């Protein structure tokens, strides 16, 4: 059951900002999908549509100095963190003005200036790195924490277990966030994981955990704030599992033949953007006018981002040989 | 100035760098309370404390991943892989993450880690405690690979590796730890990464080697000098970046080249050196580019008789030198 806005004592500007971020992610990705269809974007494009409440519930409550490491389905995380929309779109287009000057692409967004320490396309590989960022944070007594985001596929990798063990053993400030969307590419969690609820894996390491409805942005936000407070207070790692659903295929090339259509429809009825919009209106936290204004400004931002990406130059050939070693 | 063995040189480099810069810390299996399986870190826990000499569980991927994460949050980690044979679980972190960090961040960040590992045979370690793993990493731009042959180079190169802004793999031949002794100055010095050294000047033939084989090569060169064969020994010291200039300069002078390594013949460093010489010094050659290496077998056999048969030795190098000189 979703918290009401009143129960959370969430302020109206915060609520509107959460809505704006969710709409920004949704429309960014719808536009990216369209650009993929028009061959403006090539390669592999993994859409986050349906999972927006997880990024928007967990990332804004972080402090700007905190770190984020994440997986390859990370446009939403980058947008929620405030990486420039136009530079993300340019990276998807493979342009010189992208966040990685076109060398990274959709799966490998990176912006150290925002503490956004990368999307990782090797499943689970970011988990020891997150642990190391947190180790150094403790050593340097910085008080900054690391949000480590991974999917249900990573849970079966050895690095998941190695990192949970070390973070608990050394009492490190890592918030492990599992986005459990029910499928590792085309294989359901039921067919890939022997245990029951994944959040209980934390019990073996003495790490506290919580499972949250990943379709409800306010519920995610409330749980994230609790988890962040725990981690920042020096009590060691926390494991938050958000139950969510990927509305689209694994990538653009995936027709999703392996999923039950009724199941899909059931989840889509719980669309986090539509639901939150309705809640905002019903609770009178926002007016139709507020909502329309937000959606309009998002559309403008996306249109500008596409125009920017489209007009940007391709990377020069000599760019390929830069930044291999320090020059 | 005093005579020390290679083991002591490694120990002293670690100790002095830790004293010089508090960002330097060590992590690895049994390096603290036990002082390391080869005793390279003995006394360092007592001197620098648990925060800077970290005993880790058996989790090689996490050891390197944590080092990466800490290095991009302001630290200078030196990770020890107890035997080079155990590096395979960490290959993904080294190749996919450390080697690519600067590239994917547009040069915003380097990944200044050192991964130390004892390699090589000759101590009856058998299949999983004798491997030479350098060729596996040799074709990975973004990494630097150092294999010292003398205590002077081990100390100076390890200091350079710790101060280097990019990831360095530092392979120490376990047999040379106590076998090879040499003069090391008392004052602070570094040996630059990327520079080979002519350890014996000669006119008739160039012998390219590194690590323990550079030591054996020198012994063999002295022996065949009595037969009137004047061998120039080029100790590579660094495999990546390869000092192609030093190799070509020597070969152009002597017109013949023998390359010796303990790693398997096929796809080894010798193949790259041979290709380089064939392409860039073809007109200077008076004999076949020749390689002497361990044969292409899956693992170093345990039996002392077989191990001796597999590894290049000073006697085998002598024979190869005589054959090539007579061509």
DSSP state of B94: I
Say what the pLDDT of residue A12 is: 83
What is the average pLDDT value for chain B, to the nearest integer?
Answer: 97
Chain-centre distance for alpha carbon A238 = 17
Q: What is the pLDDT of residue A195?
A: 87
Nearest to B66 among A112, A125, A135 (CB): A135
Reported confidence tier of residue B36, pLDDT bands at 50, 70, 90: very high
Which CATH number fits the domain that encloses residue A254? 3.40.50.970
Looking at the domain assignment, is residue A327 inside a domain? no
Q: Distance of alpha carbon A280 from its chain centroid, rounded? A: 23
Q: How many other C-beta atoms lie within 10 A of the C-beta of residue A224? A: 26
In-domain check, residue A317: no
Which of A172, A323, A326, A327 would best serve as a mutation to test chain B binding (most B beta carbons within 10 A)? A323
Count of domains in chain A?
Answer: 1
For residue A163, is it within any domain?
yes
B237 touches B191 (CB < 8 A) = yes
- Give A-chain residues touching B55 at CB under 8 angstroms: none
List the alpha helices (DSSP H) in B169-211.
Answer: 176-179
Structural domain boundaries, residue A284: 5-308
**Does pLDDT of B66 surpass 70?**
yes
Chain B contact residues (CB < 8 Å to A): 25, 51, 56-57, 59, 61-62, 64-75, 77, 89, 92-93, 96-97, 102-110, 141-142, 144, 165-166, 241
Determine, yes or no, domain membership for A22: yes
Low-confidence ranges of chain A (pLDDT < 50): 1-2
A150 within some domain: yes
Please write the tens of the pLDDT for every residue from B146-197: 999 999 999 999 999 999 999 999 999 999 999 999 999 999 999 999 999 9
> How far, in Å, CA of A192 to CA of A325, rounded?
40
Instruction: Give the C-alpha separation, B61 to B80, whole Å.
Output: 12
User: Domain for residue A326, yes or no?
Assistant: no
Tell me what pLDDT residue A4 has: 57
Instruction: Please tell me the predicted confidence (pLDDT) of residue A1.
Output: 40
ipTM attached to this prediction: 0.92
Peptide bond into B241 cis (omega under 30): yes
Q: What is the pLDDT of residue B2?
A: 83
pLDDT of residue B106: 87
Strands (E), chain B: 2-5, 24-28, 53-55, 76-80, 114-119, 144-146, 168-173, 181-184, 197-200, 205-209, 231-235, 238-240, 257-264, 290-294
In this prediction, what percent of chain B has a pLDDT beyond 70?
100
Is A266 inside any structural domain? yes
Which of B116, B121, B54 has the alpha carbon at shortest distance from B81? Answer: B116
Sign of CA dihedral B278, B281, B282, B286: negative
| Residue A223 placed within a domain | yes
> What pLDDT is recorded for position A9?
52
Query: Which residues lie closer than 8 Å to B286 by C-beta, 6 or more apart?
Result: B255, B256, B327
Identify whether the C-beta of residue B190 lies closer than 8 Å to the C-beta of residue B155.
no
How would residue B90 be classed by pLDDT, with cut points 50, 70 and 90? very high
Instruction: Give pLDDT, residue B6.
Output: 98
**With contacts defined as CB-CB under 8 Å, which chain A residues touch B102?**
323-326
Q: What's the rounded Cα separation, in Å, for the pair B240 and B257?
A: 20
Q: Determine contact, residues B166/B102, Cβ cutoff 8 Å.
A: yes
Could you give the angle at the alpha carbon of B64 between the alpha carbons of B62 and B67, nearest 5°? 105
Q: Which residues of chain B have a CB within 8 Å of the CB of A135?
A: 66, 69-70, 75
Kindly state the tokens that stand for B84: 């080079």
In order of A234, B133, B170, the CA distances from B299 in angstroms are 47, 11, 21
Chains A, B: CB contacts under 8 A, how many?
129
* Strand ranges, E, within chain A: 67-71, 116-120, 146-151, 174-180, 183-184, 187-188, 209-213, 238-243
Query: What are the chain A neighbours of B74 within 8 Å (beta carbons)?
Result: 136, 140
State how far residue A71 is from chain B, nearest Cα, in angstroms: 13
Cis amide bond preceding B319, omega within 30 = no
Give the separation between CA A206 and CA B117, rounded to whole angstroms: 32
* Residue in this structure with the two tokens 């620098």, named with its chain if needed: B48
**Catalytic-residue membership of B261:** no
CB–CB contact A139 B97 (8 Å): no
């Amino acid at each position: 059951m979703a918290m009401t806005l009143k129960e959370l004592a969430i302020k109206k500007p915060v609520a509107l900002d959460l809505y704006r971020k969710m709409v920004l992610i949704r429309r960014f990705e719808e536009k990216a999908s369209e650009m993929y269809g028009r061959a403006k974007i090539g390669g592999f494009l993994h859409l986050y549509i349906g999972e927006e409440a997880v990024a928007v519930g967990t990332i804004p409550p972080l402090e700007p100095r905190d770190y984020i490491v994440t997986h390859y389905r990370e446009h939403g995380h980058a947008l929620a963190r405030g990486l420039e929309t136009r530079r993300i779109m340019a990276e998807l287009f493979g342009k010189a003005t992208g966040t990685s000057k076109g060398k990274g692409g959709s799966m490998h967004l990176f912006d150290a200036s925002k503490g956004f320490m990368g999307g990782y396309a090797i499943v689970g590989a970011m988990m020891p790195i997150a642990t190391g960022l947190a180790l150094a944070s403790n050593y340097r007594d910085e008080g900054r924490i690391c949000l480590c985001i991974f999917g249900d596929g990573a849970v079966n990798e050895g690095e998941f277990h190695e990192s949970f063990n070390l973070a608990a053993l050394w009492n490190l400030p890592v918030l492990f966030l599992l986005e459990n969307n029910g499928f590792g590419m085309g294989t359901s969690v039921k067919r890939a994981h022997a245990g029951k609820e994944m959040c209980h894996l934390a019990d073996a390491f003495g790490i506290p955990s919580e499972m949250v409805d990943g379709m409800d942005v306010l519920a995610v936000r409330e749980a994230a704030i609790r988890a962040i407070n725990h981690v920042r207070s020096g009590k060691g790692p926390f494991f938050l599992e958000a139950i969510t659903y990927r509305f689209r295929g694994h990538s653009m090339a995936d027709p999703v033949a392996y999923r039950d259509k009724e199941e899909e429809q059931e989840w889509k009825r719980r669309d986090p953007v539509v639901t939150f919009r309705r809640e905002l209106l019903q609770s009178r936290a926002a007016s139709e006018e507020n909502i329309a204004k937000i959606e309009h400004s998002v559309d403008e931002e996306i249109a500008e981002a596409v125009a920017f990406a489209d007009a940007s130059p391709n990377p020069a050939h000599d760019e390929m040989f830069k930044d291999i070693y320090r020059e | 100035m005093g005579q020390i063995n290679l083991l002591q040189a490694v120990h002293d480099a670690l100790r002095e760098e830790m004293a010089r810069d508090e960002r330097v810390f060590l992590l690895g299996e049994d390096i603290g309370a036990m002082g390391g399986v080869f005793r390279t870190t003995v006394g360092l826990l007592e001197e620098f404390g648990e925060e800077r000499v970290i005993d880790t569980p058996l989790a090689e991927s996490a050891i390197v991943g944590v080092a990466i994460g800490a290095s991009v949050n302001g630290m200078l980690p030196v990770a020890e892989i107890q035997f080079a044979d155990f590096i395979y679980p960490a290959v993904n972190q080294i190749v996919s993450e450390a080697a690519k960090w600067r590239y994917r961040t547009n040069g915003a960040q380097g990944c200044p880690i050192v991964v130390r590992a004892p390699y090589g045979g000759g101590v009856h370690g058998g299949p999983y405690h004798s491997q030479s793993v350098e060729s596996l990493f040799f074709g990975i731009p973004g990494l630097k690979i150092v294999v010292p042959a003398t205590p002077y180079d081990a100390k100076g190169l390890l200091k350079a590796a710790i101060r280097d802004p990019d990831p360095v793999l530092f392979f120490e031949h376990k047999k040379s730890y106590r076998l090879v002794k040499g003069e090391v100055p008392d004052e602070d010095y570094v040996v630059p990464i990327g520079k080979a050294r002519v350890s014996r000047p000669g006119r008739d033939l160039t012998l390219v080697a590194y690590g323990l084989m550079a030591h054996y090569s020198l012994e063999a060169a002295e022996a065949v000098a009595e037969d009137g064969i004047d061998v120039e020994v080029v100790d590579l010291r660094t495999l990546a970046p390869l000092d192609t200039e030093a190799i070509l300069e020597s070969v152009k002078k002597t017109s013949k080249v023998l390359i010796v390594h303990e790693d398997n013949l096929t796809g080894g460093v010798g193949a790259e050196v041979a290709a380089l010489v064939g392409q860039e010094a073809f007109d200077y050659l008076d004999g076949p580019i020749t390689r002497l290496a361990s044969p292409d077998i899956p693992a170093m056999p345990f039996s002392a008789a077989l191990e001796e048969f597999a590894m290049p030795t000073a006697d085998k190098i002598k024979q190869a030198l005589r054959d090539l000189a007579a061509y």
